[in-house]
Amino acid sequence: MYELMVRRDFVAQHYLTVPNCGPENEWHSHHFEVEVLLEGPSLNDNGYLVDIVEVEDALDALVDRYRDATLNDLPEFEGLNPSIEHFSRIFCTSLQERLETDGLDTTVKIWEDEDAWASYSA
């Protein structure tokens, strides 16, 4: 199995909408780090699992969308508690829409600090 991972970091804001989360219910920032892992059994004719430039371009476009944004204000989070679990799923499905990932497993891991992360795989 081949793997390709690309990572970026950015700052964004949110506040949790479920009760009794203490300070997490208040608007605050996180220095997020997102890791994109693509896995597949074979390489293309160029010897790539997927073109890393295409992955970087798609990742950069998504990071630009979320950088300095308040997640609660974005339509994709409407009606959702903007947890890193939801964020990793939304990020993963958005990435798949921007890339040719047929036949590849895609995992997005989002760190909200150096000790806590959530991931979603598709």
At residue 25, the pLDDT reads: 95
pTM over the 0.85 mark: yes
- Here the tokens at position 42 are 């074979």
Query: Under 8 Å CB-to-CB from 73, ≥6 apart: which residues?
Result: none
Instruction: Please tell me the distance from the alpha carbon of residue 116 to that of residue 110, in angstroms, as a whole number.
Output: 9
User: Residue 100: what pLDDT?
Assistant: 85
Domains of the chain: 12-34+52-116 (3.30.479.10)
The pLDDT value recorded for residue 84 is: 97
Q: What is the pLDDT along the chain (122 residues), one digit of tens a residue?
A: 999 999 999 999 999 999 998 999 999 999 999 999 999 999 999 999 999 999 999 999 999 999 999 999 999 999 999 999 999 999 999 999 999 888 899 999 999 999 999 999 99
The β-bridge partners of 35 are: 7, 109
The pairing of strands 2-14 and 28-40 is antiparallel
CA distances from 73 to 28, 77, 79, 80 (A): 13, 7, 10, 11
